[in-house]
């Protein structure tokens, strides 16, 4: 008898361009996970509006992200690939779960503190409530596995706490999700400031390598990457953060281990090494960008993917929501 696949959920916001850090930390892993799990992959446009968005740009970024997912190898026939706002159950379950979540828990969230500091003129309820919507995203699909990076652990813990709290109040309703923690390349840092994570909203875009950067831009940025005063390509995250970050990137994009990369560049200068990192990244991005551009010209196909994804996601989400409504005493037609 074939073992039942576990349900897995993950999502990315369609804001700005994804960086290679997002690719390594999320999308590349999704491609590997889609065969071993029942995967629900969302474009989280409801989360995106906690910060003011240009509507036309948000629509365009959404389609670009959908095309990028598919170009990277995410197969809409193997997984449920959908747009968060196409499944109203996300917002409906979020409202219910708000009543099983405490204000103090939300005010302690690191992301709320960080974004409040960055957007002091727009500290809205969506920003505070963001983790509850994320909990609803996860719990709607009876999710058992969530791939998470270091900066998302707090959100997963809140989702687990809310699920356990609700289950204890009524009876088992939600699966309590477990995290899948990415090993290699889990955190890719800014190439100009390796003390910071590479970000798609960084103040200096030259420190981030975007999935949309052309070959010349990628190589130019890597040539300017921060290194150190030594002349040895060696992994030492504490004493050589810049070189160690570049080694991590090279390892992922070349398919070589850190040790193999160190041996390859033994006795060579940093200039040769940085050029090789840039070429390895550009070699990987070029065919992805070409496929993304081709998909963006086929709007009928992309709309079909979103329609099918919304229907399949809604089927599972609505079953969970109906169960929740019954437990809390809502009369259903």
148-158 tens-digit pLDDT: 876 678 889 99
Residues with a known catalytic role: 115, 197, 200
Run of H or E residues at 102: none
Label residues 258-289 b or e (16+ Cβ within 10 Å = b): eeebbeebeeeebeebbebbbbbbbebbeebb
- Tell me how crowded residue 84 is: count the other CB atoms within 10 A of its CB: 22
pLDDT computed for residue 126 by the predictor: 80
- The per-residue DSSP string of 1-37 comes to -PPPPPEEEEEE--SSPPBHHHIIIIIHHHHHHTTTS
pLDDT computed for residue 25 by the predictor: 82
* CA 277 to each of CA 141, 175, 272: distance values in angstroms, whole numbers, following the listed order: 39, 42, 9
Nearest to 138 by CA among 104, 117, 170, 162: 162
pLDDT computed for residue 40 by the predictor: 97
pLDDT computed for residue 175 by the predictor: 96
Instruction: Dump pLDDT digits (tens) for 30-77.
Output: 998 999 999 999 999 999 998 889 999 999 999 999 999 999 999 999
3-class secondary-structure state, position 279: helix
Where do the domains of the chain lie, and which CATH numbers do they carry? 7-181+299-328 (3.40.50.620), 205-293 (1.10.240.10)
Q: With 0.85 as the threshold, say if the pTM is over it.
A: yes
Q: How far is the C-alpha of 172 from the C-alpha of 78, rounded, in Å?
A: 29
Give the residue ranges of the chain where pLDDT is below 50: 185
pLDDT computed for residue 76 by the predictor: 96
pLDDT computed for residue 183 by the predictor: 59
User: Cα 322–326–330 angle (5° rounding)?
Assistant: 100
pLDDT computed for residue 153 by the predictor: 81
Q: How far is the C-alpha of 321 from the C-alpha of 174, rounded, in Å?
A: 10
């Amino acid at each position: 008898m074939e073992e039942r696949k576990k349900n897995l959920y993950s999502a990315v916001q369609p804001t700005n361009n994804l960086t290679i850090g997002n690719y390594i930390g999320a999308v590349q892993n999704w491609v590997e996970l889609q065969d071993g799990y029942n995967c629900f992959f969302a474009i989280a446009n409801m989360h995106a509006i906690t910060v003011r968005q240009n509507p036309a740009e948000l629509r365009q970024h959404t389609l670009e992200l959908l095309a990028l997912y598919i170009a990277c190898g995410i197969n809409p026939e193997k997984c449920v690939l959908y747009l968060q706002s196409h499944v109203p159950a996300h917002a409906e379950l979020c409202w219910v779960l708000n009543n099983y979540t405490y204000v103090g828990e939300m005010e302690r969230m690191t992301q709320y503190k960080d974004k409040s500091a960055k957007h002091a003129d727009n500290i809205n309820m969506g920003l505070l409530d963001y983790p509850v919507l994320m909990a609803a995203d996860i719990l709607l699909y009876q999710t058992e596995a969530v791939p998470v990076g270091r900066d998302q652990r707090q959100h997963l813990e809140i989702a687990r706490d809310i699920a356990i709290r609700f289950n204890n109040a009524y009876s088992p309703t939600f699966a309590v999700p477990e995290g899948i923690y990415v090993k290699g390349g889990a955190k890719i840092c800014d190439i100009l400031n390796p003390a910071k994570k590479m970000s798609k909203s960084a103040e200096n875009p030259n420190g981030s390598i975007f999935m949309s950067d052309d070959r010349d831009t990628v190589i130019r940025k890597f040539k300017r990457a921060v290194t150190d005063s030594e002349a040895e390509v060696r992994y030492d995250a504490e004493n050589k953060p810049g070189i160690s970050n570049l080694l991590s990137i090279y390892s992922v994009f070349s398919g070589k281990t850190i040790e193999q990369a160190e041996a390859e560049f033994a006795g060579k200068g940093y200039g040769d090494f940085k050029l090789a990192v840039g070429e390895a990244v550009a070699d990987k991005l070029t065919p992805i960008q070409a496929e993304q551009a081709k998909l963006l010209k086929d709007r009928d196909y992309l709309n079909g993917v979103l329609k099918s994804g919304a229907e399949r996601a809604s089927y599972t989400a609505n079953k969970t929501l109906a169960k929740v409504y019954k437990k809390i005493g809502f009369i259903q037609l």
